[in-house]
Amino acid sequence: MTVQSPFAGASTRPETEAQPARAASSIRIEGLSKSFDGAVSALSDITLEINPGEFFTLLGPSGCGKTTLLRLLAGLESPDAGTIHIGDQPMAGVPAHRRSVNTVFQSYALFPHRNVRRNIAFGLQMRGTDAADIDRRVEAMAALIGIESLLERGVHQLSGGQRQRVALARALVNEPDVLLLDEPLSALDAGLRGRLQVELKRLQDQLGMT
């Protein structure tokens, strides 16, 4: 891990005795800058390298550019300068839907008109995945996350913790190389937040991602 940035970074490298299910991808950022309206500088000359399989945390005050950096990695914003590589692939000009990256936002961003099953399936449907394969993968992911009993429920019937798990399942079912988390646990109570932090690390190790 190499960091040159205005915020602190903390990482957890994968245990040598616990091999991930598949090869994870590295992230390499060089000289990344982003401003808004030509005046507000959100990021300035960020250089950062994250090793495959690291659980990396960005720490910093509100407004320091953490979310902007995640949006650049996801392809939801374009940088003014600098480069991003995921694995060996440069991300310049690669749209969000072509990147093996999924993001879980603080708001969860679930579709209110879709039940849990259809929320989790959304990304697979957009990729044109076979319907039988979608059903299999959705049910397997729901079992892994522990929400198989919720698949037919509407979003309005879920607690905050359940919504967080659905958002996480929707991101993970696409099998991304990189999973980005933008404070998805901040709205939960301290006890549940602590339990889900442990669960997130377990899932990362089990599924093999950065």
Residues 113 and 198 in one domain: yes
CA distance 44 to 33: 4
Residues 165 and 126 in one domain: yes
Of the candidates 61, 76, 99, which is a domain's last residue? Answer: 99
* pLDDT surpasses 80 at 7: no
CA distance 18 to 131: 33
Q: Among 67-71, 112-116, 144-148, which stretch is predicted with the lowest mean pLDDT? A: 144-148
Whole-structure pTM value: 0.79
Residues 69 and 151 in one domain: no
Per-residue confidence band for 190, with pLDDT thresholds at 50, 70 and 90: confident
Number of independent structural domains in the chain: 2
pLDDT digit string (tens) for 85-132?
Answer: 999 999 999 998 888 898 887 777 899 999 999 999 998 998 889 999
Task: Find where tokens 């300035």 sit.
Answer: 44
Per-residue confidence band for 15, with pLDDT thresholds at 50, 70 and 90: very low
Residues 159 and 82 in one domain: no
Residues 153 and 66 in one domain: no
Q: What's the confidence (pLDDT) of residue 149?
A: 94
Task: Kindly report the CATH number assigned to the domain that includes residue 28.
Answer: 3.40.50.300
Strands 27-36 and 40-50: antiparallel
* pLDDT surpasses 70 at 6: no
CB contact set of 186 (below 8 Å; sequence gap of 6+): 106, 193
CA distance 30 to 173: 30
The whole domain housing 14 covers 1-99
Of the candidates 99, 127, 158, which is a domain's last residue? Answer: 99
